[in-house]
Amino acid sequence: MTRRHLFFTIPFVLRAQGGGPPARFQGALGYHANRRHSLLFGGQAANGNLLGDTWLWDGRRWEQYQGNGPSPRTGHALAYHPSSKRLLLFGGQGSNGPLNDLWLWDGHQWYQGPAGPMAARRNHALFLHLANDRVMLAGGYTESSAKPLDDVWEWNGRSWRELYAMGPTPRSGAGAAWYEPRKSAIMTGGHAGDRGFRNDTWLWERSNWNQILLDQAPPPRYLHSLATVGNRDAVVLFGGAGTDGYPLADTWIFESQSWKLLETPAAPSARAGAACCWDAARKRVLLFGGAANPAQPFGDFWTFDGGSWTWSKTG
């Protein structure tokens, strides 16, 4: 069975094991710090259908939430807002095009938040700026302009506000996560339309972008997985789709202001569009699904402890 192959072309599949969430491409994972569980929502199934299911991970098992929630979608994003104790879900690609709706998970149920004035989009970055107690929305792709976006918005727990700052080129499919040593959020990679794939690294500080110029960086890519590694004061990057059309299976660590390629004895197979988040209670990065071919997504579940990957049989 081939483990490395052209993205979007050659079929390959690992299906969900033993009662966990079904396989999916471009779902989203987020951690609810108050309830100490992680939430997986949506994505694209193997048959091409969009998913609207909600799954909760408590460190031992998956449990499916049976109540009402957001409509089925892919390319959406999740982020936690600490002071309101809510997980935010924004946007994505629905059955009729990109979305700009906001949903809030209070730890028990979903409810719809106030609509914002921003363009509907998919493959955007949604991330916490812990020092500001704000959830930030950046970039993505909207069909109305047929090009990626470079706008930045912040959520204060009640409403959205647009911020105006010079920064990264417009892009979609970038990764973003909180970086504790600089009290800033880091964003890297993505696809910048006719400017191609990116591998630049930016920090969103209190109100502006600052680029970090580095001697070494991961190769350009998009739809990669990026998450805080809280027990290491670092950020981990895994996989994505590279410039040559191949999915990637490399693991990179950003710490001490530099990227380092991490060799691990085991790791997820090459893929893009995997959902990931930092689980602070278990001190692990969680990674679920993704695909080397979106028509045949993976359903495997992995954890990362800051140094190595472990496959979970409960995935």
- Asked whether 268 and 300 are in contact (CB, 8 A), the reply is yes
pTM of the model: 0.93
pLDDT for residue 19? 78
pLDDT for residue 4? 39
- Which domains are assigned to the chain? 28-312 (2.120.10.80)
The full DSSP string for 49-110 is PEEEEEEEE-SS-EEEE-S--SPS-BS-EEEEETTTTEEEEEEEEETTEEEEEEEEE-SS-E
pLDDT for residue 252? 99
Mean per-residue pLDDT pooled into runs of 10, the chain (315 residues): 36 46 98 98 97 98 97 99 98 97 98 94 98 97 88 97 96 98 98 96 95 96 98 98 95 97 96 98 98 94 98 78
pLDDT for residue 232? 96
Q: In 10 A of CB 66, how many CB atoms?
A: 8
Q: Return d(Cα 315, Cα 286) in angstroms, integer.
A: 11
User: What are the φ and ψ backbone dihedral angles of 212, each rounded to 5 degrees?
Assistant: -100, 120
Q: In 10 A of CB 215, how many CB atoms?
A: 6
pLDDT for residue 315? 60
3-state secondary structure of 193: helix
